Chain A
């Protein structure tokens, strides 16, 4: 049954369309114009069209590729670590949390801290003379690694990010894992499935959509990381911990290269679209096969 005719449908949709055009379409068009213009803070309202030079600047800038590589590595490694630890905790703590659900609250605490605050906090915590971690390492072992030198900075940042965001992955997995009907487990047990078989053949396939979504969300967040890294290391020695977000921020504010910064964000947007289409195509192909 058709509830409304096409005209009425358009009428109802029009506020949303206008909203999207105003708040998403207009900035997108302005950004596209900026990306092919020579523009500074003084000429924001009157950019001069200058062609594709900004895109060439971005694509020929080694720091753009360095930042891309950093973001990609950081996004994949942190998402993997967070999902693996989150999954382990969800399975391991499931019986305990079933009986004592109030224990969930302290596990979620890291999510309550703003990322910039996390950066500032770890600046203090890891400082050789003011921080508790190096203090105890010196006291017990007579030495402490330099957590933020050029060799260790990446690893330290990965650990900090993982510590903060694993609870998010854990929360999703715990919810999905708890939602598996108990009769499924009972049936599997009656059929003779052991613990490992139950986990790998029954439970994990059932929560697979949640696993994929959690990995995807955490990868995106890791890929566009900014606050905590900027507060902790700046952009890193020689730009070694510069994420793409930091690269764009620096180009925009620090260098005043507004056209170049916007061009970089457009390149990033297009790259994201390609990845999304590739994943969608991959998903569709698998669906067809099954």
Chain B
């Protein structure tokens, strides 16, 4: 009897103390786990819950990041009502739209985010989410190394010699914001210890080459700046193009020359950050989300003070920067649609967006809005500038099978980079599968 009473008392204690949020919450949000997006959403939700009605309180849940979209798809397809609001991404809207409810964010949303950014959360003309985070890529580089190179005549001569040997033409070093892809490649080769023994770092760059769809997003901006696209106006697949050939070959040249760690074929976001933060890499093309970490002296003491950020290098068609939006949308089977919609509409207000940004999120905000936090978050200013000037989405990049297309490219392109198949084979295999996925 005493034992039973003790167990019931403990259960009551746990229910009363450890899970008050769950007990009260009536809007459940499934967020993007494990990064700055989670931290920002938690902070914004805490503020919302302070003033929200009892039946509007928000509770957050998170899966693990690995396989997130697969689990989400299984849940949505099964008609789950375990969450009212779920993560949505520009490249997955087409896949999830059948299980989601279009929403009205109100007129003010456009003054906060702007029309173009709101469109990253639209599918077939209807709004499916609040654009909480915009993702694109920055070229991170070591300002101290580049300054030393630019100011040393002997170093410039060595640079030119290396460029001629590996890229087939003598080149002069340039400031990072003037780089073409060849300039970046020549710089990467110059700062590779196995090529230039005088290099103060081990590698000239760190490429994300793991067989992973997100790595393909990082890579695409190279071919895109050479005019590449997934298909033309007639719907023909145009993957076998000069742009893709150039990009794939350049990556392979750098990998084979040892300009990126030999393990790069297993590298993704985390490994790239670790390599750059260790101070042994001169450049890295990486997601904007890494800016907070790589430029924070507390988190990255070795290089934070000497880390510069520019847009990805230019090709013959100018610069290109892959963009996609992450956001939150309404589950068609939500138990509390009204409460969920109230939270989504609040997230689309200026106050909420600024709060979200101040806590580490990366919303793409209109210039007059982002100006209010420019001192604290200079990377958000770059984010807005790069997105508006260089942002692009491939033709088909928001289709229902966009994720599968990235998967196919990841498998085939990494097969080429690792030497398991030729460039022609990789492109032919990719084209055949893209034809089925884009034009079924």
Contact = CB atoms under 8 A, between A and B. Distances in A.
Interface stretch (A20-28, A192-200, A236-244): A236-244
Interface in A129-153: 129-130, 145-150, 153
Nearest to A250: B407
Contacts of B74: 41, 253
A254 B71 CA distance: 11
Given A128-B263, A253-B70, A255-B404, A237 B420 contact: yes
Contacts of B407: 250, 254-255
B15 interface: no
A153 B209 CA distance: 14
Of the listed residues B261, B263, B407, the one surrounded by the most CB atoms of chain A closer than 10 A to its CB is: B263
A27 to B, nearest CB: 15
A237 B418 contact: yes
A110 interface: no
Contacts of B277: 129
Contacts, number: 98
A233 B403 CA distance: 19
Contacts of B261: 128-129, 146
Nearest to B429: A62
If over half of B's interface residues share one DSSP class (helix, strand or loop), that class is named, otherwise mixed; here it is helix
B73 A238 contact: no
Contacts of A254: 70, 403-404, 407
A147 B263 contact: yes
A278 interface: no
A139 B171 CA distance: 35
Interface string A38-62: 0001101000000000000000000
B73 A237 contact: no
Given A148-B263, A254-B403, A237 B271 contact: no
Contact of A237 (B70, B77, B209, B403): B209
Interface in B252-290: 261-263, 265-266, 270-271, 274-275, 277-278, 280
Contacts of B295: none
A237 B211 contact: yes
A235 interface: yes
B77 A235 contact: no
Nearest to A120: B66
Interface string A250-261: 100111100000
Interface residues of B, number: 39
A148 B411 CA distance: 16
Contacts of B280: 129
A240 B418 contact: yes
A238 B263 contact: no
Interface residues of A, number: 34
A146 B266 CA distance: 10
Contacts of A126: 263
Contacts of B98: 42
Interface string B71-98: 0011001000000000000000001001
Contacts of A239: 211, 411, 415
A127 B272 CA distance: 10
Contacts of A256: 95, 401, 404
Given A44-B77, A129-B278, A234 B403 contact: no
B73 A41 contact: yes
B119 to A, nearest CB: 25
A236 B211 CA distance: 6
Contact of B411 (A128, A230, A232, A238): A238
Contacts of B403: 254
B179 interface: no
B16 interface: no
Contacts of A230: 66
Contacts of A234: 210-212, 266, 410
B331 to A, nearest CB: 15
Contacts of A63: 411
A89 interface: no
Contacts of A224: none
Interface in A142-199: 145-150, 153
Nearest to B271: A127
Top-4 shortest CB links A-B: A238-B415, A146-B262, A237-B418, A150-B418
21 contacts: A41-B74, A41-B77, A42-B98, A44-B77, A127-B271, A145-B262, A148-B263, A148-B265, A150-B420, A233-B210, A234-B211, A235-B211, A237-B415, A237-B420, A238-B411, A238-B412, A238-B414, A238-B418, A238-B421, A256-B95, A256-B404
Interface of B: 66-67, 70, 73-74, 77, 95, 98, 209-212, 261-263, 265-266, 270-271, 274-275, 277-278, 280, 401, 403-404, 407, 410-412, 414-421
Given A41-B73, A128-B263, 9 more contacts: A129-B261, A130-B278, A153-B265, A230-B66, A233-B211, A234-B211, A234-B212, A250-B407, A255-B404
